[in-house]
Structures are given as structure tokens and as C-alpha cells.
Structure 1
Amino acid sequence: MVLGLHGHSHVDINSIKNSHPDPTTSIYPQLSPDDAPYQVQEVDMRSAIFIPEEFQYGRDGKVPVILVPGTGSFGGEAFRCNFAKLLKASNFGDPLWLNIPGMMCDDAAKNAEYVAYAINYISTTCSKKVAVIAWSQGNLCVQWSLKYWPSTRGQVSNFICLSADFRGTTNAWLMAPAAGVPCAPAVRQQRRRSKFITTLMSNGGDSAYVPTTSIYSRTDEVVQPQFGKWASALMYDERQVGVTNCEVQVAACKKPAGLYYTHFTLLYNPLAWAFTEDAICNGGPGRLDRIDMKCCMRTKTHGLNRLDVLRTKELIRCGKAILNYPAKLKYEPELPPYCAREEKTYVPDYEADIE
């Protein structure tokens, strides 16, 4: 039985076959001549967008919010007991999400095409800017889409990052131990020093293209390092669009919201939600000086119950989906042709990868 956002069994919130009308503006094969060419068919990218029946397309004044999941998950299962539920109950955000075929285990550059298309499809359909909230690998795909589909930048009011691994993770070797060993393509791409990570971070890709709020935990068991100036989730601001980086153990030092949070449980961290609300309501990145720090005296966001916490913790099963992914590769996927002329300028500032 597949449960919907509100527990209804007739709604498949993880559906990859969703039907939507043509966009009001032609966005395929490209919205801007500067955009990279899509390699995925338009019908497939549009079908991956899950729009709840109650979605108002901006008519109620709320900001449309696109939720992008992490490796081994669909958007429905990743967010239904945390950010989708919280946004639905809010007076500022209207959520929808992406269910990308392969559960984000396929080539991350391919996954990013779904994100780029969704940003332009929803923003043109709603005739207003959207906010994007991503978790884990979803953040890489959002940043990749902002980099290679410049038309998306003017359509995004906020990019909120949860447990991001922009610089990859030293722990990827657990599921991608060495070249020649089959694994899910996206996992190998998330190793530090991978071709994908190096290309993404090169030529200013390590700086924000839109107002960005990155929230992460130093006790993340999936993404490491995730603390101080070495944090994989750290985003720079050379374009001066506005960036806030928040390591919850620093911002909520010794408070319940600043204790032990994993890659998964950060999704119900009260400070993460407070930053999200502040960013979407005020524009620009979230700011700590505008947040009521009383929220940090809780271990979960107000509005979530114990069952929501339990179901969010169950996202650890993403590991099983990664291991069971059928189209494993022995080597990292080749980069798309549109990356061929890019000069690699990114120099990693961390110690040698664990081999």
C-alpha cells in the first residue's frame, strides 16, 4: 500500500508517471540560448514532477517550493513526514517534489536535468519565482542546474540546502570502494575529487548563483568532513547574491537542536526549519539574527510528531535502494559534452581522499 501525504492509500506520492499540461512558455529544448542541451526527453522530465492535488500554483500568495531528494529516494518518501508536511501547514510555502527515475542513483548530471526542467516548468506555469529545497545529492543537482542552465537563476528566489555534499564525501568509498567495482553511478560521482565534483566546483561553481542557505551537521555519518572551513556543504558568495552557512552544532551550541543529528535526522531539526521559514518569508538567505532561538530548545520541529520522526529516520533504507540499483557501473560516468570546453580551476582544500 502506498500512502499519500495525508495517509490516503490511493495517492502514489512516489509516482514517476505524472501527467501535466504543456508549459505556458516554451522551455524545451531550451528556455535560453545559454542553457545546456537536454539529453532527457521532455515527457520524462515533466512526468517526474509530482504536484499535489491541493497545489495552488501561486494563486494563494504562497511561494511554490520544489523539493529535491537525495540518493536512493523519491521526493515523496523523503519529504512527506518533514518538509512537505511543514510547508503544507505553513502560510508561506506550497510544496511539490521530484520523483526522478532511478531514485537519484543514476548519473547525477542526468538527474540535474530533471531539476532544471522542473524549475522552469513550475516558475513559468505559476508565473512567479520558486524556492528550491534539496537534501543530500539533490543539492549537487540543483547547483549543477543553476550552473549549466542559466535561465533557472532568475526563476529561483531561494535555494535551501540540507546535508549538502557539494565537495563530495570521503565516506563514498564505503559504497564505491575502487574503480572497477560496480556501484550506482551517482555514488561514485559523490567521491571527493570525482570528475563530477571537480567540474561542478570549478569556475565559480563553489559560489552561489541565487540566495542560498546551507544547513548541515558535523555528526553527519554520510557526508564528511562536515565541519568548519572543510565542510562539504560550505557555499561561498563571490557573486554577492547572499549566502548563509549553518553548522547546527555551532549555531545551536549545547542546545537540543545542536546535538547529534545525522544525514537523515537533520530533516526534522528545528533550526533547519527556522532558517527555511526565515529565508522564504524575508527573501535572501536565512539569517540567524532574525530567528527566535527558543526553537533550538526542541529536538524536532514544532508540527512534527513522533511518527514523523520515526519515518524520517527510516530513510536510512536509502542505502538498500543504492545497493539494489540494477544499472551499476564500474567507473564514473563520462561528463556531458557541454562540459568539454570548461577549464577546471577548482583546487580541493582538503587532505588526500581515503582510498
Structure 2
Amino acid sequence: MISRRVHIVVLSLGLALLLGLAPAFAQAGTTSGFAPIDRPGPELSVPPEQLREALRCHGDPGSGQQPVLLNPATSVTPEQNYSWTYAKAFTEQDRFWCAVTMPEHTLGDIQVAGEYLAHSVREVHRLTGKRIAVLGHSQGGMNMRWSLRFWPDLRPLVDDVIGMAPSNHGTQSLKGCGPAPAECEPAVWQQLAGSEFMRALNSRTETFEGISYTVVYSRFDEVVTPPESSELHTGGGLISNVATQDVCATNTSSHLLVGTIDPVTYALVEDALNNPGPADPARVDSSVCGQPLMPHVDPASVDTYLQPVAAIPGLLSTALPGVNLVGGRSVDREPRLRCYVYAAGC
């Protein structure tokens, strides 16, 4: 009964998220006008002290396991997204992990989030001496690809990019922004179908050689629509696109559950972390289909309820036009792409 209540709590929060988190669906492989993939990335414009303060790490960097950088979804902090799920799991595994907190509850310009990720990847690699995995939910499963696209020096430092219901090509869902003069948070504009951000993200290639890409999504995702828009297809990376229903036909997890307590997603994440290459659903034991929650989530823990509840203001800020409860800003159009994005600059 307690596990069922956890599902009810998270599902109810998911309704707010599903109404509001508006990622995007753009055409992949567009080349016209965008920077070549091997051009060195720009200097970071965010002050170094802000980048340092945004990264928090836990555990022994000398651990033999692959280190993980946790990257939050739109409108939530790493604590709200992961402290009661994946952060707890990795701590109990004695796996070194770090989490990056984005400005404006991850509702701000994703180009700025890309700088935070560039710094974080370099720092986690420096601390551990290992190629790292980046694990993210929704926007957090997508925006690492922006950093890899425009900062080529990061590619040798990253072994795995694991996206849980990532907005890789966005969504056709929309809360209420667009066309102007409607207002939305910058990250919402950028994750709309056909946005300039999405065109740039998927320009020339989607993946890079030497990196494994695991995409886990649910065919019941109401946020990233159509759900298959999460998938990656082009480039030299090793790619595994897996719907949770490919492993367990009866899995009904929504967008929010895939990034929090879904046991099928967890099994695929662990498979990607513990084996060379991306996740292979054939290696996942069918017993996962009978599990109500991912391991390490404690239905009796206060955090299991408090952290999702703490996420409500951010979810509502994204879901309801004109409402902002977390201090972010709304704008009437998509942020302008930075000069480094274009082959000819500005």
C-alpha cells in the first residue's frame, strides 16, 4: 500500500509537469549555417565562482566504478529530482557522483546550462581521471548534447550520455507560449517544436564517435510528444533507443516516473553504467517487470514524499502561463542563439 501511495503522489505531480514541461521536435541533421563539429568551443561566459558553486560531489573519486554527473530536468533542482532516487542509489553503491544545479530552476537559457555542464564535465573528469557518464531526465537528458556539440574538447571526457525521457527532438506539447506576445521561460521556448535551439542542437550530427548514448522513454510520455522524438539516430556514437514497453509490455510509466522511480528505467541505466557501450535491453532480467519501484527508493522515507512536494512550485511555474513561483523569468520569444553556434559567427 505504501508503494502504491508513492505512485499516486508522483503521478499527481506528473500531471502538473505533463501540462507544462514543453521540450521540442526539430529536424535532425540540418547543416546550413551552423558551426562545423570540430571547431573549438568558446570561452565560458559564466563567472568561474558560479560554476564551481553549482557543482556538488559525493563519495570517493578513486572508486573503481564509473563516475556519474546528475543533470536535472526543467523546473527542478538536483535534490528534488534525484536525492531520493538515483543519488541515494549511487551513494549506497559507493559510486562517486556529482550533481549540477542550474540557474533559475533549469528554466533559464539552455545555452547557459551548457556552460555549467562543460565546466562540470571537466571538473568531474579532473577529480576522477576517468571518462564519465552524464545521467539526466527530460531537459537534463538532452542538454549535455549541446555541450558536446559546441565544445569538442568534452567528447574524450564523456563515455556515456544517458537520457531518461530526454527532449532530444522536443515535443509538440505546449502549455501556452507562442506565438508572441505570449510569454514562457527561456528553456520552454527553446524546447518547442521547430525552435532555433533545436535546429542548432541537431545540426550536422546527433551523436559523436566514442560516446555511448542510451535513450530510455515511455510510449505513455505526455510531455515529450511524440515519445519517439526522444530517440537519436545520426552520427558516430553508439546508440540504444529503448522504450520501457520494449522490456515490460505492461509498463505504463509517464514522463515524470521515467525520470524518478520507474524500475525498468533504473535497470537500463545500471546496464549502461556497468557494461561497455549503451544499455542493452536483452541483458535486463524480466523480474524487473514485477517491481513497483526502482531499488534504493524507500517508501517509508520522508524524503520520498517531501522532495516531490518541494518540486511543485517549479512544476506549476512551467505548467501555468503567467505563473512563476521559483524566481525565474518569462520572455516573449526564444533567446537569441549565441555567435559560436553559427559557422560565420554573428
TM-score scaled by length of structure 2: 0.80
Contact 2:138 2:164 in 1 (8 A): yes
Contact 2:76 2:315 in 1 (8 A): no
- Matches of 1:342 and 1:161 in 2, distance apart? 31
- Please give the secondary structure, in 1, of the residue aligned with 2:60: coil
Aligned in 2, Cα 1:209/1:187: closer, same or farther, shift over 3 Å? farther
Aligned in 2, Cα 1:41/1:33: closer, same or farther, shift over 3 Å? farther
Cα deviation code 1:129-150 (max 9, x no counterpart): 1111011111222000111111
Aligned in 2, Cα 1:342/1:280: closer, same or farther, shift over 3 Å? farther
Contact 2:108 2:328 in 1 (8 A): no
Question: Is 1:264 aligned to residue 256 of structure 2?
Answer: yes
Among 56, 59, 67, the residue aligned to 2:60 = 56
- Matches of 1:341 and 1:225 in 2, distance apart? 31
Q: How does 1:195-274 map to 2 (within 5 A)?
A: 195-205=196-206, 210-226=211-227, 231-239=228-236, 241-254=237-250, 258-259=251-252, 261-266=253-258, 267-274=260-267
Q: Which residues of structure 1 form unaligned runs of 5+?
A: 1-31, 344-355
Q: Post-superposition shift, 1:178?
A: 2.3
Aligned in 2, Cα 1:158/1:206: closer, same or farther, shift over 3 Å? closer
Question: Is 1:298 aligned to residue 302 of structure 2?
Answer: no
Which residue in the other structure is 2:164 paired with?
162
- Matches of 1:35 and 1:191 in 2, distance apart? 25
Q: Residue 295 of structure 1 aligns to which amino acid in structure 2?
A: V
Q: Post-superposition shift, 1:225?
A: 0.8
Contact 2:189 2:333 in 1 (8 A): yes
- Matches of 2:80 and 2:239 in 1, distance apart? 28
Q: How does 1:90-105 map to 2 (within 5 A)?
A: 90-91=93-94, 93-105=95-107
Q: Which residues of structure 2 form unaligned runs of 5+?
A: 1-37
Q: Residue 242 of structure 1 aligns to which amino acid in structure 2?
A: L
Q: Post-superposition shift, 1:183?
A: 1.5
Q: Post-superposition shift, 1:342?
A: 7.1
Q: Post-superposition shift, 1:117?
A: 1.0
Contact 1:275 1:287 in 2 (8 A): yes
The structure whose RCO (Cα within 8 Å, separation 6+) is larger is 2
- Matches of 1:263 and 1:208 in 2, distance apart? 29
Cα deviation code 1:73-98 (max 9, x no counterpart): 1112210111111111125x322201
Aligned in 2, Cα 1:183/1:237: closer, same or farther, shift over 3 Å? closer
**Coordinate RMSD, CA, aligned:** 2.2
Aligned in 2, Cα 1:189/1:96: closer, same or farther, shift over 3 Å? same
Aligned in 2, Cα 1:326/1:312: closer, same or farther, shift over 3 Å? closer
Aligned in 2, Cα 1:88/1:321: closer, same or farther, shift over 3 Å? farther
Q: Post-superposition shift, 1:166?
A: 0.9
Q: Post-superposition shift, 1:44?
A: 1.2
Q: How does 1:128-139 map to 2 (within 5 A)?
A: 128-139=130-141
Which residue in the other structure is 1:353 paired with?
none
Q: Higher mean Cα deviation, 94-103 or 66-75?
A: 94-103
Q: Point out the structure with the larger helix share.
A: 2
Contact 1:265 1:313 in 2 (8 A): no
Among 51, 57, 70, the residue aligned to 1:45 = 51
- Matches of 2:124 and 2:50 in 1, distance apart? 15
Q: Higher mean Cα deviation, 63-72 or 38-47?
A: 38-47
- Please give the secondary structure, in 2, of the residue aligned with 1:305: coil
- Please give the secondary structure, in 1, of the residue aligned with 2:255: coil
Which residue in the other structure is 1:338 paired with?
340
Which residue in the other structure is 1:11 paired with?
none
Cα deviation code 1:88-145 (max 9, x no counterpart): 1125x32220111211111011111101110011101221111110111112220001
Q: Post-superposition shift, 1:154?
A: 0.8
- Matches of 2:219 and 2:307 in 1, distance apart? 19
Q: How does 1:77-88 map to 2 (within 5 A)?
A: 77-88=80-91
Percentage of matched positions with identical amino acids? 25
- Please give the secondary structure, in 2, of the residue aligned with 1:102: helix
Q: Post-superposition shift, 1:317?
A: 4.4
Contact 2:165 2:255 in 1 (8 A): yes
Which residue in the other structure is 1:143 paired with?
145
Which residue in the other structure is 1:153 paired with?
155
Aligned in 2, Cα 1:310/1:207: closer, same or farther, shift over 3 Å? farther
Contact 2:155 2:208 in 1 (8 A): no
- Matches of 2:84 and 2:335 in 1, distance apart? 33
Which residue in the other structure is 2:92 paired with?
89
TM-score scaled by length of structure 1: 0.78
